[in-house]
Structure 1
């Protein structure tokens, strides 16, 4: 997963990645993984979609974006911890599917291979246990998880932000400068949705902060 670079957050994600723009995902049927798959699968040359159940009782779903075929949507749904909605390069679709289905059972991943299991962050899969044929789980000591609520305590304004449209989306040259303003707009849009997770349950993918 550490080799895959998402390019944007979906507006209905529960776990936004800092620095990435927000793209309108309103066309995606996020409560129906089979429908997400059908958005791309067998819909034309170069289009693809897939969905699978995960070992934790959730599911993953992917589809090439028909209005901008350079990109694909990737959705990870966990029954307790909500959903992650990412826009990725279409060429990374198969690699992300493999990472979400076969690498350590993390819900979120951040740069460097660190992964979050719903309760804590763990170190990259590097120590191989030959007897059990899996990588050892190595929790990060004294780590603090950063949430959207934590970030929104700093001064920010949704009026200085915008949501991109998928049809005209291009990958920015670097991280969004005023990303906390965009996070404020994301939070404002969530206020009109039903049954959304509280902001203090929306984990962000900032680098892990180790205490002590």
Structure 2
């Protein structure tokens, strides 16, 4: 079950609408008011392993402090471990960069290696100052809860009163941004109620049944976007977000990814490699408890994925290298070279294979050159020095890469 957003921290600069405010004074030692660069911190709440604070601080834009309930200790809300996670997100993934609002990232640009960014037309930011201009806001009726109060506190109450109480607790001495710069949410024509669509309409756009779409959502599959609003129990999406999702589904898989369910048979040698690496990769990814933890949400950021990819690449390289028949290749190369030594020529193909062997097994390549030089001198008499020089040069190609010594013949 994904983490559930419970409350705003009382020290936040950008309160999420409709959420209660919770005292976060016990986090003071972990909060940084003016970091040198944007920074996100996840802080487990001392009152329960199932609660986690997400603190996102920006040197110019202030900070966002939110409290989540998690089913797995150490888990994080989706996107919080990404390098480019935004400071403020609202309405199911619409995000603010300090100047404008953008739609939820869905369309992947394989060439740029990043999501396309779509600015929301005619979007307007709603600030705390805008809302508190309402004379009905009464701080005396507002609530500031403790973490322990969340379970028993009824959801009823006027959030505008809570916002007024939050504003009264802010102090200029704490370097808080003014209320005019405290972002609450956004408005935009595409988010108006009559422009939203429900489950059936979204399924129809994607050419699937409504039951299939619900199954995707229940199983967290299909990269279904977050709804922009819940009306009762009905999920509603903006049409541009729905269209972006459908377009992404229809985009072809990049050519560099082989289809996991492809029907084409592999060549026998490739099939041997696949059958050998398949159980090794499974064991590396799942049977090792330390690596199994990488499947938790908190480890799905780009740096963690890059680490896992590096480990798999190293495992594959070591496994394939261990099956390299270096000495056998050296003997074949020696016989092939002797056939051409009399003419004093080293065929380009033989030189290429010798260079390849020198990169993968420098000792085998050195042994091959030594054997070629010795046999050529014994059986063929005077052998071209250029021929021997090219052999030594080719075999020496692997020394710099493996720390070996220059070939000696």
TM-score bracket, normalised by the shorter chain, equals 0.7 to 0.9
**Deviation for aligned residue 1:171:** 7.3
**Deviation for aligned residue 1:134:** 1.2
Structure-2 change in CA distance of 1:190 and 1:160 (3 Å): same
**Deviation for aligned residue 1:59:** 1.0
Structure-2 change in CA distance of 1:143 and 1:189 (3 Å): same
* Match of residue 99, structure 2, among 116, 119, 133: 119
**Deviation for aligned residue 1:192:** 6.8
* Match of residue 162, structure 1, among 140, 143, 148: 143
* Match of residue 133, structure 2, among 148, 153, 169: 153
**Deviation for aligned residue 1:100:** 2.8
**Deviation for aligned residue 1:14:** 0.1
**Deviation for aligned residue 1:31:** 5.8
**Deviation for aligned residue 1:193:** 4.9
Whole-Å Cα distance in 2 between the matches of residues 4 and 148 of structure 1? 26
- The RMSD of aligned alpha carbons is 2.7
Higher-Rg member (1/2): 2
The secondary structure found in structure 2 opposite 1:100 is coil
Gaps of 5+ in 2: 191-409
Runs of 4+ displaced beyond 6 Å: none
Whole-Å Cα distance in 1 between the matches of residues 56 and 4 of structure 2? 16
Task: Identify the residue that residue 143 of structure 1 maps to in structure 2.
Answer: 123
Larger proportion of strand: 1
**Deviation for aligned residue 1:30:** 5.8
The question of whether the paired residues in 2 share the 8 Å contact of 1:73 and 1:85 is answered with yes
Structure-2 change in CA distance of 1:32 and 1:159 (3 Å): closer
Q: Which has the higher contact order (CA 8 A, sep 6+)?
A: 1
Whole-Å Cα distance in 2 between the matches of residues 88 and 29 of structure 1? 18
Which digits, 9 at most, give the CA deviation of each residue in 1:34-54, with x for residues without a partner? xxxxxxxxxxxxxxxxxxxx9
Instruction: Give the length in aligned residue pairs.
Output: 186
Structure-2 change in CA distance of 1:101 and 1:69 (3 Å): closer
Structure-2 change in CA distance of 1:171 and 1:69 (3 Å): farther
Task: Identify the residue that residue 89 of structure 1 maps to in structure 2.
Answer: 69
Gaps of 5+ in 1: 34-53
Larger proportion of helix: 2
TM-score (norm: length of structure 2): 0.42
TM-score (norm: length of structure 1): 0.77
Structure-2 change in CA distance of 1:69 and 1:95 (3 Å): closer
Structure 1 position 201 matched with structure 2 position 166: no
